[in-house]
Amino acid sequence: MMKFLRQHNRKLLAVLTALILVSWLIGEPLRELLSPSQANIVIGQAFGKSIKNADLVPTNGSATILSSLGFDWRMLAGGLTDDEPLKLEHWYMLTREASRAGVQVSPAEIDEFFQQQRIPPEALDAIRSRLQASPAQLREAVRELLLVNKYASFVTDVYQPSDREVRHFVRDTMDKIRVQLVKFEAKSFLNPDEAIDSAELAAQFEKYRAVSAAESPDGYGYKLPRRVRIEYLAARVDDLMPLMTVTDDDLRRQWRRVKDQPEWMKFEVREVPSTQPGPLTQPARQEIVRVPMTFEDARARLEEQTRRRLASSRVRDAMQRIASELARPWLGASPGPDGYKPMPSEVRSPTYLSDARERFEKQFGVPLAYRQMPLVSRDDLELDAEIGKAVTVGEKSDEVGIGECAFRVPPFFDASKAGELAFRLALFQTCDVPMYNKRDGEPRDHFVFRVIEVADESVPTSIDEVRDRVERDVRELRAYARARERARAFYVSAARAGMDPAYNASADLTDPRHANAFTPRQTPQFSRRESLLMNPDRSVFFKAARSGESVLQPPMIDEIGHRSAEFVDACFAMTSAVWTPPAIDPPASSPPLATAPADFVAPKTTLIELPRLRMVVVAALTDIQMVREDSYAKQDYNMGRQMLMLTRRSVLRADWFNAAQIERRCGFERTKTAEGEETPVTPVRDQPIAPIF
């Protein structure tokens, strides 16, 4: 017996641990669901009948099995967009809905699922043992997954794009061109000391005082946006590094760990004797070789890295504890009807955070900086040199920036309709998790902030409220006029002789003080539009699709630094057989024009004015690759059709699995308590059981 225990003690320990884990994860919810006091509670009505807690017991078991297999039904259904994840009752309704529609899943389809997933039999045995589930229960959970997906596909697969839609999509996304361009930006012609007449300032202010810059067609506007005033404590890694104690033994231990890594090599020039016959005085050949650093070579860098690592860890730990300390006054309060916690009296003091700085410095041994910002818009906040790029972990494990967090306050954010995990802050409430910025991909400086004042959109009553912006804009308008004048002269020259000769003939543009700002640049190939479905942030695509907007956007042209439909469309216009160049005469004060041989034919060249971007672009068409009919018939049609189906079906699927849509289709009405609150479903574990394979 003892020999058996010694041989298998690790396996027995693993099984015992798994059983304890299962008991902790699902034991209590199951006991609550099955208890007489909970089982018969009606949580709502669907399909014309009551749904009790007891009805959700099999659904809970299937959901737990699916999570153990690596399929979280909430992410499968609700994680396609920014919608709230689905709840257990939604999965119950989805399975019943598909069954009522007559959808069936054959045993062969279940077998095929297991074959495709290639789940080892040992893993399935472990899951059954861990969850105390029978093979039939595993197959039933998979059947429900396939059932729901099959019914959804009956709806989403209905969409078939027309031939006209496919041709238009292929034209927009697969035709490619390349241009050579010179951009004339207003900032290159700006005179920051230029005198401005007060009447001109007043006219500019009156024209745009009630317009926001974001809504203005030319980008000018002085309507004050939503603004917040924040204050924060900052712990900076660079401030703490000199205080870190690093011993010689610490450095040598670190050196032993890293000395064989490639980044700890150095380059040396060595002489290699020649092997070729020749005079004895022939010099040796030199070559550059990589050799390991010595400890002394690496010492300074090792010390800097060690200090930074220790300081980063200290800053992170200290700021997490500081955030917890500052959150204490708010812990006992429950959110009100507006979704925000009431403000504790002790945090109302305007010096609450600044007074806490010195106390926290002594308590946690970390130097802290305090800063209060003026009222700032979201855009200005995100441009701040210190905290503008700070992020934290959001409710969906993604990163949320300071601009988003600082404006999730009343009255800008409706917390009453947000999920329980949605980030929100009451006025004077500090964030309970520190913000941090990154350097080399790693968290560095940490911040704990709070919003102490908000200001909604408003129209300025006096030019003095926005005088600096008005003066800046008037100077920029004058600079844009000068840029436009110079671009027109350059266009005339380039249309005659080509871009490079026109540039070389322009002494003012080749002046070194411009740092090659006017050097002709060749773009990579680009299309008219590209799909938002390729955007890493899928919410951008779904937001556009659900609002009826186009899911195509102009490509990013790095050479002009923007996505500009005006620029792209003007460039593609040159591919038309009936295109005619702009008829522009050279300005009277034009520099000398470039000349070209009599037989020279310049490429198609155009002038593109982009006033909102404060630039004028001269572009020459240098390469055209349009989709040919034979290629369209062989491959491009199918590619475009598949992309259109993927685009449309993604939206249909997201809508199908939207919680509100599920409740509407199934006629679900949640039961209300006597106080008018929704009857909560008996809790089940929010997080899925991690797959064991």
Residue type, 423: F
Which pLDDT value is given to residue 284? 62
Last residue of a domain, one of 400, 420, 455: 455
Helix spans in 509-627 (H): 538-546, 565-573
% of the chain at pLDDT higher than 90: 49
* Of the candidates 86, 364, 377, 81, the residue with the CA atom closest to the CA atom of residue 223: 377
Q: Please compute the mean of the pLDDT values over residues 318-332 and round it to a whole number.
A: 93
Q: Any idea of the CA torsion for 353, 359, 362, 363, to the nearest 10 degrees?
A: -90
| Residue 209 in domain | no
**Among the residues of 330-426, which ranges form H helices?**
352-364, 378-382, 402-406
Asked if the structure places residue 355 within a domain, the reply is: yes
Query: Do 612 and 506 meet the contact criterion of CB atoms below 8 Å apart?
Result: no
Query: How far apart, in Å, do the first and last CA atoms of the chain sit?
Result: 30
* CA gap 685, 72 in Å, rounded: 12
- If you compute the radius of gyration of the chain from its CA atoms, what whole number of angstroms results? 33
Q: What are phi and psi of 621, to 5 degrees?
A: -75, 120
- Indicate if the pLDDT at residue 557 is higher than 90: yes
Query: Which residues, 6+ apart, have CB-to-CB distance to 570 below 8 Å?
Result: 606, 608, 619
617-651 pLDDT, tens digit per residue, is: 999 999 999 999 999 999 999 999 999 888 888 88
> Band of the pLDDT at 519, cuts 50, 70, 90?
very high
Reported as a single tens digit per residue, the pLDDT across 7-51 is 555 555 554 555 555 455 455 555 554 555 577 888 889 998 999
Residue 356 and residue 234 share a domain: yes
- What value does the mean pLDDT of the chain take? 85
Q: Is there a single domain that holds both residue 257 and residue 234?
A: no
Task: Count up the domains in the chain and report the number.
Answer: 4
Q: Is residue 106 part of a domain?
A: yes
Section 356-367 average pLDDT? 94
* Residue 187 and residue 99 share a domain: no
The answer on 51 and 146 residing in a single domain is yes
Domain for residue 575, yes or no?
A: yes
The mean pLDDT value for 452-470 works out to 94
Whole-angstrom distance, CA of residue 647 vs CA of residue 649: 6
Residues 143 and 32 in one domain: yes
One domain for residues 33 and 135: yes
pLDDT for 203-224, tens place per residue? 999 999 999 988 888 889 999 9
Give the per-residue pLDDT at 614.
94
Is residue 168 pLDDT above 60, yes or no?
yes
With a cut of 80, say whether residue 309 has pLDDT above it.
yes
Residues 359 and 420 in one domain: yes
Assigned token pair, 382: 């995100």
Decide if 691 is inside a domain: no
> 205 in a domain, yes or no?
no
Same domain, 377 and 505: no
Same domain, yes or no, for 292 and 315?
no
8 A C-beta contact, residue 326 and residue 430: yes
Q: Which amino acid is at 110?
A: I
Domain that holds residue 401: 227-242+308-455
Residue ending a domain, choose from 399, 426, 455: 455
pLDDT in tens, 483-511: 999 999 999 999 988 999 999 989 899 98
Of the given ranges (86-100, 111-125, 502-516, 602-616), which has the lowest mean pLDDT? 111-125
pLDDT at residue number 477: 95
Q: Residues 608, 655: one domain?
A: no
Tell me what pLDDT residue 591 has.
67
Q: Which of 253-267, 470-484, 561-575 has the lowest mean pLDDT?
A: 253-267
Positive or negative torsion for Cα 296, 300, 305, 308: positive
Under the banding of pLDDT at 50, 70 and 90, the label for residue 261 is confident
> Is residue 693 pLDDT above 70, yes or no?
no
Checking if the pLDDT of 418 tops 80, the result is no
What does the angle CA 523 – CA 528 – CA 529 come to, to the nearest 5 degrees? Answer: 110
pLDDT above 80 (res 77): no
Between 120-134, 340-354, 561-575, the lowest mean confidence (pLDDT) is in: 120-134
Does some domain include residue 468? Answer: no
DSSP-derived secondary structure letter, 376: B
Who wins on pLDDT, 349 or 261? 349
Please compute the mean of the pLDDT values over residues 550-558 and round it to a whole number.
93
Contact yes or no for 499/180 (Cβ under 8 A)? yes
* Widest distance between CA atoms in the chain: 107
Q: Does residue 380 sit in the same domain as residue 519?
A: no
For 682-691, give one letter per residue: b (16+ CB within 10 A) or e: bebeeebbee
Q: Is residue 610 part of a domain?
A: yes
Q: What pLDDT score was predicted for residue 408?
A: 93
CB 674 within 8 A of CB 667: no
Q: Are residues 386 and 409 both part of a single domain?
A: yes
Of 455, 481, 506, which one is at a domain's C-terminal end? Answer: 455
Smallest CA-to-CA distance from 335 within 267, 416, 433, 398 is with: 416
The larger pLDDT score, comparing residue 533 to residue 92, is at: 92
At 669, which helix (H) or strand (E)?
Answer: strand 669-670
Gap between the Cα atoms of 423 and 433, Å rounded = 10
Helix axes 467-497, 198-208, angle to 10 degrees: 90
pLDDT of 692: 34
